[in-house]
Amino acid sequence: MRELKVGTLIIGAGQAGASAAFALREKGYSDPVCIIGEEALPPYERPPLSKAVLREEKSLSDILVRDLPAYDSHNIQLMLGSRAEQILPQEQQVKLGDGQVISYDNLILATGGRPRQLPGKALPGVHYLRSHGDGTRLAAELKQYKKLAVIGGGFIGLEVAASARKMGLEVCVIEAAPRVLQRSLPETIAADVVALHEDQGVEFHYNARLQGFAGTDRLSGIQLEDKSIDADIAVVGIGLIPNTELAETAGLAVDNGICTDAQCRTGNAHIYAIGDCANSYHTYYQRAVRLESWQNANLQGAIVAAAICAETSDIQNDAVPWLWSDQYDWSFQVAGIFDSQAQLISRGSAAEGKQIWFIHSDGVLTGVVGWGKGTSIAKDVRVGQMLLQQGKTPPFDMLADENISLKKLLKL
Amino acid sequence: MTDWVLACATDDIDEEDLIRFDHEDKTYAIYNTDNGFFATAGYCTHEVQHLEDGLVIGNVIECPLHQGRFEISSGKALSAPVCEDLVSYPVKVEGDQIYIQIV
């Protein structure tokens, strides 16, 4: 068995893993870098999976984090179709599924997560959406079948619903909570999103207690406690479970993700964790936060590279969280973290195609949400994110007044 | 063969902001910054997204889609996810008119 020794070994060939590898090279790191990925595909971006990939507007080559020649030119080794079986922290080694052993100076865990599954047996026609393969299989079936049930009214579920409506399917959303987006957005905002979906013909079922799937060879319907719904295809989007097993068996601390400090270090001086799998100390919130976002995957790639290069610069885990979601020709951008008790200040109106909400708790700005056509809300949300980052809460009447430039409020 | 093309008037662009300018089959972004007027290609080099809804801060334009950042005066890509520079174009101001030089 050949032996491999690398400077930095990255487990997980997703957005975070790839971003860390390139960030290391940009910082002048010259030791060997190797990325291990379970899938046979090079790192790709996941946000298009529920949108352009489903509608077959983008192929794999359109969504790669970097094109393949970039890995060669940056001297980054990709070991795809390989599974890391075990970390041997004392030996600073990782054992692969085929028995090969790789020694490392630094190990970055970018293991991501897997979709939370419903109990019961898998039935053809019931889909989960996480990988490119999931996306292309679902895309093929969306062309073939007519009635889609989306189980779970989160961002991914709603994006799939919008994509499927655009493709002409009948779509319903089945949600266990009294409303959609309960974990992510205040009720008023979720109501505007639902209104757009209802305009587009999507049906919503709330407080739904799922009893099971109907069908023997293939899905024919969804059984709820109080009704049955016809469906020949279903997509389940009920959350992500961070992949922490490797870390756990290596003795690293795990609590809703792999625990790290603000530079993405675990308790082991040679092991780091980034992206969806990491529950990292966030210096802005002064507590550990696990974020499942594209922004976080990119940022933590840069943070871990700085930590490995022993940069003493101020790069740390302090960025106000930011995410987006595209549905129909509308898009969301959300900055900050807020609770269900938070209060809203409204600016603009969805009826005019552009609505911004500033969210505050006890008079302190905690979040900004924009919902509008195209990228119309991007600038305002970005300025809002900067206000949050600077810890500023401008007067509420100024935030609400569309005639006052938000950018000027930054300089107050 | 290079052409100076009339793009807009100086007061068409707010301070520290940009506008979209379409000419023939191409689209551009024209900026008004503290350091003067500049012009770059209109689309972000990451995905096909026009920069017109992006935020200008000083000499930096940020893409409205994924917050990729470029230096306005040079078009240089500054931070992930963008890694390819924007093409930039020479600008001249005559009176209150802004011209860009399209190669």
Contact A376 B53 (CB under 8 A): yes
Distance from CA of B2 to the nearest CA of A (A): 33
Q: Return phi, psi of residue A343, to 5°.
A: -110, 160
Partner residue facing A378 (CB), from B16, B53, B81: B53
pLDDT at B22: 95
Mutation for testing the B interface, residue in A64, A329, A379, A386 having most B CBs under 10 Å: A379
Could you report the per-residue pLDDT of A95-105, keeping only the tens digit for each?
Answer: 999 999 999 99
pLDDT at B13: 95
Q: Which residue of A has its CA nearest to B16?
A: A407
pLDDT at B3: 86
Angstrom distance (rounded) from CA A17 to CA A34 = 10
- Other CB atoms within 10 Å distance of the CB of residue A314: 8
Distance from CA of A266 to the nearest CA of B (A): 25
pLDDT at A97: 94
Q: Which residues contact A81 (CB under 8 A, 6 or more apart)?
A: A37, A38, A39, A40
* CA-CA-CA-CA dihedral for A386, A387, A390, A395, to nearest 10: 170
Q: Which residue of B has its CA nearest to A405?
A: B14
Distance from CA of B20 to the nearest CA of A (A): 14
- Strands ordered across the beta sheet of A343-349: A322-327, A330-336, A364-373, A354-361, A343-349
N-to-C CA span, chain A = 64
pLDDT at A183: 85
pLDDT at A160: 97
Distance from CA of B54 to the nearest CA of A (A): 6
Contact A378 B16 (CB under 8 A): no
B1 pLDDT more than 60? no
Answer yes or no: are the C-beta atoms of A244 and A254 closer than 8 Å: yes
ipTM: 0.86
Could you report the per-residue pLDDT of A22-70, keeping only the tens digit for each?
Answer: 999 999 999 999 999 999 999 999 999 999 999 999 999 999 999 999 9
Chain B residues 45-74 within an 8 A CB cutoff of chain A: 49, 53-55, 62, 64-67
Partner residue facing A379 (CB), from B55, B81, B83: B55
Answering whether pTM is above 0.90, one says: yes
Number of separate helices (H) and strands (E) present in chain B = 0, 11
Could you report the per-residue pLDDT of A237-290, keeping only the tens digit for each?
Answer: 999 999 999 999 999 999 999 999 999 999 999 999 999 999 999 999 999 999
pLDDT at A314: 61
Q: Which residues of chain A have pLDDT under 50?
A: none
A287-289/A278-282 β-pairing = antiparallel
Q: A299, A280, A301: which is closest to A8 by C-alpha?
A: A301
Partner residue facing B65 (CB), from A298, A375, A407: A375
Q: Report chain A residues whose CB lies below 8 A from the CB of B49.
A: 375
pLDDT at A1: 56
pLDDT at A168: 96
Could you report the per-residue pLDDT of B43-89, keeping only the tens digit for each?
Answer: 998 888 999 999 999 999 999 988 899 999 999 999 878 888 999 99
pLDDT at A2: 64
